[in-house]
Every structure is written in structure tokens, then in C-alpha cells.
Amino acid sequence: MRRKVIAGNWKMNMLPNETISMITELAPKVKDTKNEVILCVPYTDLFYALLTAQGTNIKIGAQNMHFEEKGAYTGEISGSMLRSIGVEYVIIGHSERRQYFGETDETVNKKVKAAFKNGLKPIVCVGETLEQRESGKAFEIITNQTQKALEGLTEDQVANTIIAYEPIWAIGTGKTATNDDANESIKKIRKKICQIYGQNVSERVIIQYGGSMKPTNAKKLLEMSDIDGGLIGGASLKVEDFSAIVNFDR
């Protein structure tokens, strides 16, 4: 049985003092869950988040990283920098980064490799636009994105990658994919991984759903056969909402 992984993506929100109070309040509310709990926070909050989460079951992730180790890349943060302070996870290829910051399948692939090289677990985002969905290309798009993101990884690395299927039209819009649609897309991604890396790998890989997941729709989504967790934006900024999603099965 795959575990459920509930990850918050704070995006560009929260100052250090808010980070400390949010995690302090959240920790006792999620301490008894058997689900994995991750918060992906802005770079400037990482250190505070790591300190506050010490001794709890909350893991900390970043929202991006550069693929190079070091050098003349003003403003960038490398995988080794993240790992050196104790970060465990990193979101790679979020649709907002693809859309606004020129992230491509190629840079995503380089970043995923660099993440593993530095002992970070990548949460790789894939997802189609509304236009792509309406023209019947969604499955092709998301399976291609997945294949390209994972290119050159070992089977074990693929099995340890978390994939977040996030239909772009559902992010921050209040629109969620139906439970069946989300499950169907995730099945297609798993099938592609099975074709390339075999069934053992495809049955181990965690594939989350993301896009307007909230306490009112989380349980139904998370109970679907192939949805192994959620990547949660807006609802991860409120202790009540995020803890309710983490505790969907309690």
C-alpha cells in the first residue's frame, strides 16, 4: 500500500513570524496522522520552518532550486544549499514556474537529477491547460511531461519521485477536477511509468493531485484508487484547513 503524502505549497506567502506560529499551531493537530506531512515554504522561511518543525512529523521542502551546484547564477539557490540546512523535499516544475519563469521539461529534468544528487526528494509537477484538455490532448501532455522529467533516472530514483498532477485550470481557481477525472489522469501517468520502468516502480511511485484541494473535497479525492496525496496551495495557508486535509481519514 502506498502512503498518502499531503504537501502544502505556500507559494510566495508567509513571513518568518507567521511561519513559526503556523507550524507551532499545526504540529499538535497533525501529530497522530500516519500520512506524510510536508510544507514547502519560501526560501526566507526555510530555516525558521526547519527549527520549528524539529521533533514533529512535519517535513520541510523548498519550492524551487537551480540545477547547477554553484557559480555565477545571481539570485539562485542550489540543491546542496538546501540540503545543507536540512531541507528534505523540493517542488520542481510547478506550472507557475513553467508559465512565468521559463521552466521547461529540460530544466525540470536537470533539476530533478540535481535534487537526487543532493539527497533531496523532488515533487515534480505536471498538468495540462484548459485548452489542451478541451482539445483532447491532456493525457498526451501529462504523460510526456512525466517521461521527460524522469529521463535518465534510475528505477529507484523514479520510485522515490513524488509526482503532482495539477491541471493548470484547477490551480487557485476554485475549480477541481472531478474525482474520476483526476484519478483517470493519474492512472495514465502511472501506466506510462509502468511502460518505461516496470510495474514494481509504477506501483511504488507516489502521485498526488493538486488544484483547489480543500477540506470539503479532499476526502473524496484522496480515497480514489490512484490518488496518493495532495499538493495544496491556498488551503495550506490556514492551520484549520490544512490539518483537516491531513486528517481526512481520521
Nearest distance from C-beta of residue 208 to ligand PGA, angstroms: 9
- Grid cell locating 71: 557559480
Nearest distance from C-beta of residue 241 to ligand PGA, angstroms: 10
Nearest residue relative to ligand PGA (C-beta): 233
Rg over CA atoms, the chain: 17
Q: Residue 133 or 201: which CB sits closer to ligand PGA?
A: 133
Q: Residue 189 or 201: which CB sits closer to ligand PGA?
A: 189
The whole-angstrom separation of Cα 247 and Cα 38 is: 13
Q: Residue 19 or 212: which CB sits closer to ligand PGA?
A: 212
Q: Which residues lie across from 39 on neighbouring strands?
A: 8, 60
Q: Residue 23 or 232: which CB sits closer to ligand PGA?
A: 232
The whole-angstrom separation of Cα 165 and Cα 219 is: 17
Nearest distance from C-beta of residue 177 to ligand PGA, angstroms: 11
Rounded to a whole number of angstroms, the distance between the first and last alpha carbons of the chain is 18
Residues that bind ligand PGA (CB under 6 A): 9, 166, 171-172, 210-213, 231-235
Q: Which residues are catalytic?
A: 94, 166
The whole-angstrom separation of Cα 30 and Cα 207 is: 21
Nearest distance from C-beta of residue 108 to ligand PGA, angstroms: 15
- Grid cell locating 42: 519560501
